[in-house]
Amino acid sequence: MKQSSSVDLREFASVDQAADHRSLFRALDEGKTTPGMRLVQADLTDELRLGSARSVLDIGCGLGGDVREMAARLPPDGTAVGIDASHVMVAEARRRTADYQGAVRPSYAVCSASALALPGNCFDRCRTQSVLLHLSNPQAAVWEAVRVLKPAGRAVAFEFDLGTAVLDHPDRPTTRTVLDYVADAAPFGWAGRALSRLYRKAGLADVRTHTRLVPNDYAFFAFTMRRPLARLVRDGVLSPHRAVEWLHMLEERHRNGDYTGGTTGFLVTGVKS
Ligand SMILES: C[S@@+](CC[C@H](N)C(=O)[O-])C[C@H]1O[C@@H](n2cnc3c(N)ncnc32)[C@H](O)[C@@H]1O
């Protein structure tokens, strides 16, 4: 099965080992520009309540766009930091920040979400987006976020729950197989539904959850599906014919203007007491 122009989302767990970093960059860039994700970005910005913040941290910052956006909203003596486990991501975030003109200069560091190389009690806000689903111990990352927040600091996280993916496809059995396979391939594919529990367990107060079905578009969905489909074929779960047919049927729905797909996203907020 043809895999060109595709990304394997599992590679976000260890970006530096991935063969094709450009595809991962593209997935992040394009993934944030769909109409559904624009609404999520706006919700995240609202929930961060940056008005009174001076110091912000983005854990698993990827290409750094959210750090730059937060930096632009801080007072001139503010601090905006992004950390990521990947040297490749941090290098790209720094490259994209080279001509940043704002008063607060974003900074980036390589470190693990579960062992932040940062002192405790130093950030007013801490955000995490689409990171915990790639971690084998997401609770450790939430504990760390709480540790580095100042008392009364605010934590905000957004995670998809891959177990809630919906797709209007005529072949229901194969669709179930494919979507379950994708959800189970991520280290913590059901991150969304677990998020408020992780927050409460880490001692955060006033934990609130907002959910939203985030529609995707056909081009992006196909971009993220070809590699999992190839793995399903390689593992003998689907025949090559069935995999190709499944994708063709989806393409046909898209051509007829009938593509509908999406996944529930969970946005959770909490306050350090
Ligand atoms: C899907 S990307 C999301 C990036 C960014 N938050 C965004 O919304 O565009 C996941 C990011 O988490 C990072 N990551 C994966 N495991 C990590 C870990 N243990 N600690 C810190 N970052 C990690 C990856 O390198 C990647 O940049």
Summarised one tens digit per residue, pLDDT across range 224-272 is 999 999 999 999 999 999 999 999 999 999 999 999 999 999 999 999 9
pLDDT for 6 equals 82
Write down the pTM of the prediction: 0.96
Angle CA 32–65–67, to nearest 5: 130
Q: Within 10 Å of residue 142's Cβ, how many Cβ atoms?
A: 30
Q: In terms of Cα–Cα distance, which of 68, 90, 97, 92 is closest to 80?
A: 68
Q: Each residue of 125-167: pLDDT tens digit?
A: 999 999 999 999 999 999 999 999 999 999 999 999 999 999 9
Q: Within 10 Å of residue 11's Cβ, how many Cβ atoms?
A: 19
Residues 50, 124: Cα–Cα separation, whole Å:
9
The Å distance, Cα 84 to ligand 1 centre, comes to: 6
The Å distance, Cα 187 to ligand 1 centre, comes to: 13
Q: Which residues line ligand 1 (CB under 6 A)?
A: 12-13, 15, 28, 60-62, 84-86, 89, 112-113, 129-131, 134-135
What is the residue type of 57?
L
Q: In terms of Cα–Cα distance, which of 191, 117, 111 is closest to 157?
A: 191
Q: String of b and e for 238-250 (b: at least 16 CB within 10 Å)? A: beeebbeebbeeb
- DSSP state letter for 11: G
What number does the ligand 1 atom closest to the CA of 15 have? Answer: 25
Q: Each residue of 38-78: pLDDT tens digit?
A: 999 999 999 999 998 999 999 999 999 999 999 999 999 99
| Dihedral sign, Cα of residue 6, residue 179, residue 255, residue 37 | negative
